[in-house]
Chains A and B, each alone.
Chain A
Amino acid sequence: MKARLPLAGSVARLPLAVSAVLVVVPLLVAVFGPFVHLEAAPGLPYSSQGVLGTDGLGRDVLQLLLSGGRTALGMAFGAVLIAYIVGGLIGLTAASTRHRWLDEALIRPLDVLLPLPSLLVISVVAVGWRASALAITFAVAMVNVPTVARLVRAAALDAASSPVVEALRMQRESWFGIHLGYVGRAVLGPVAADIGTRITLAVFLVASVNFLGLGLSPTAPDWAVSVSRNREGLLLQPWAVLAPAFMLVSFTLGFNLLADRLVHRSRRLVEVAR
């Protein structure tokens, strides 16, 4: 291995700070933005009135930006949360059951659903529950359940069959001690790495659905909807598109970078453990 320059440490730490800022800014806007009310009167379409100008409907872009994060990020977070509650339960049950038929009955149906293109499922759901944030969130969650369940099952089985569990059993450690204390904690590593990538994917999916007009109504302040609606006016008033687009990209980029570090760390931990 090459010798490290003294600067290398601080340079290596730079991306962490950068990616943290990239994630935190849109996150703060999404969480606290809806509570901020600017006194912006509706103006002309695509005018430069106000800090970031107005959009195609004459609404203040900054105000839209502040209230648009709740759906853009909230729906994705909600979907991943639901996916992990449902998928995690299926995966853990399948991994911990002593009955093989139960394991098969839980996991086999997921194999059938796995190759379904996600936007297809969502567009079918969108036929009936137009403009419902809840329905889209559930659809995005359901698309993620098969992968989550399989991942959790594999991680739990991997941990449960390790010599450590054997040793704990020999020491007459309690069932809860083994399963929650060791297996549960061992599952957390791969799960954390997976959540990182899954949230970015969910943000993508929710944004694409909303951009296509399959999700929220076309006047919603959502970031993706804003990009879609104002794209004809991009040259007249770039901020109406660029500001919400920047928020989305900043979040996914920062989250990707953080998730990548996490994957590397958990992989290194696995290697050390071996």
Chain B
Amino acid sequence: MRSYAAQRAALALVQLAVLSVLVFVLTALLPGDAAEMRFTETLTPERISRMRTQLGLDQPALERFGHWFGNVLTGDLGTSLISGGPVADIIRHSVGATLVLTLATLAVVVPLAVVLGIVMGTRENGRLDRAITSVTLALSAIPDFVIAVLLVAVFSLKLGWLPATWVGGDLLASPALLILPVAVLFGRTVCLLSRQVRAGTISALQAEYVVQARRLGVPRRQLLLRHVLPNAAVPGVQELARTGDTLLGGVLVVEAIFAIPGFATALVDGVETRDVPVVQGLTLVLAVAALVINLAADLVCNRLVPRTELLR
């Protein structure tokens, strides 16, 4: 167990090192830079080159990477080329909204997906299972942004029940701001997750130890909670880590539609203005978050069912 955790953590460290190089290389090799983007109107070669020297863009890539990486290790993510403020500040200001959005979604999605998954799994191919399966399958086929556009049209433009954007709104003053964004994010994640829990439940129910426990007369409730659920949860937890990916995509879309000043909005803005330090900083933080989530998911799975092996 401990050696598994150590191995898995070592892999995560290697991943982190490779990712930071990758993030830098991808952003550094991009054609065009912020110096060009800033002066699209008054584009004189002298101004651009002066700008480049000022921003350090004229130095060789390797030197820039060493500089950047050294700073990252000390927690300094650089300064924005556009606003001139530290990247860390941009991250600090935008992380709150995204975190609230994600946690609120997960708080709704996880319990519901587990319950739905077990309900479906224990009634494999029954009428209820098939009904829920078709609904989740259909729901998961609708792109986030289509759901978002339609929900906004109906509930905020037509009926006027819920706010359509976060502009000028305060989350603490009006929690209703969260309803539509969470509703959009909820659809696909709950479908993906409940299907995995369903599959996990079905295979756990067919396992020999469950059949044996049933033969020994273990009560149904205890059977489900103590024996089936931990095993059924494994694909669920792994899917949850992968859901991070779907969820991030959804968060990007949702933040764009509802004008939420979050992480994704900052990222899209950074991409649009070619603000490389901001994109690097945000990408690095998100990549680290993805790594940590995957690491945590693998460790949890190993704890639930201590048999997973990392290295063959």
Give A residues with C-beta under 8 Å from B: 109, 111-112, 114-121, 123-129, 200, 204-205, 207-208, 211-214, 224, 227-228, 231, 234-235, 241, 245, 248-249, 252-253, 255-257, 260
Contacts and interface: CB of A to CB of B under 8 A. Distances in A.
Given A117-B244, A127-B30, A208-B253, A112 B143 contact: no
A253 B142 contact: yes
Contacts of B244: 117
Given A208-B252, A208-B253, A212-B268, A116 B145 contact: no
Nearest to B270: A127
Listed from nearest, the 6 A-B pairs whose CB atoms lie closest are: A128-B30, A253-B141, A252-B141, A256-B141, A115-B294, A211-B145
B90 to A, nearest CB: 15
Nearest to B274: A127
Q: Which of A111, A127, A257 has the most CB of B within 10 A?
A: A127
A189 to B, nearest CB: 18
Contacts of B291: 115
B149 interface: yes
B286 A117 contact: yes
Interface of B: 11, 14-15, 18-19, 23, 26-27, 29-32, 137-138, 140-146, 149-150, 152-153, 157-158, 241, 244-245, 248-249, 252-253, 256-257, 267-268, 270-272, 274, 276, 279, 283, 286-287, 290-291, 293-294
Contacts of B142: 249, 252-253
A128 B146 CA distance: 27
Given A112-B19, A235-B153, A214 B271 contact: yes
Given A115-B290, A245-B150, 10 more contacts: A112-B14, A115-B293, A120-B283, A204-B143, A205-B249, A208-B253, A211-B143, A214-B268, A234-B149, A255-B141
Contacts of A200: 141
Contacts of B283: 120, 124
Interface of B is mostly: helix
Contacts of A249: 141-143, 146
Contacts of A120: 248, 267, 283, 286-287
B141 A118 contact: no
11 contacts: A111-B15, A116-B19, A124-B26, A125-B26, A126-B271, A127-B270, A205-B249, A231-B152, A234-B157, A248-B143, A256-B137
Given A125-B26, A128-B32, A253-B141, A248 B146 contact: yes
A252 B139 CA distance: 10
Contacts of B23: 124
A249 B249 CA distance: 17
Nearest to A248: B143
A69 to B, nearest CB: 15
A116 B287 contact: yes
Contacts of A124: 23, 26-27, 30, 271, 279, 283
A257 B27 CA distance: 39
B249 A129 contact: no
Contacts of B249: 117-119, 204-205, 208
Contacts of B137: 256-257, 260
A25 to B, nearest CB: 15
Nearest to A253: B141
B170 to A, nearest CB: 24
B132 to A, nearest CB: 14
Given A120-B287, A124-B279, A207 B271 contact: no
Contacts of A119: 248-249, 252
A227 B146 CA distance: 8
A190 to B, nearest CB: 15
Nearest to B257: A231
Given A212-B253, A235-B158, A123 B144 contact: no
A161 B78 CA distance: 52
Contacts of A224: 143, 145
B268 A208 contact: no
A111 to B, nearest CB: 7
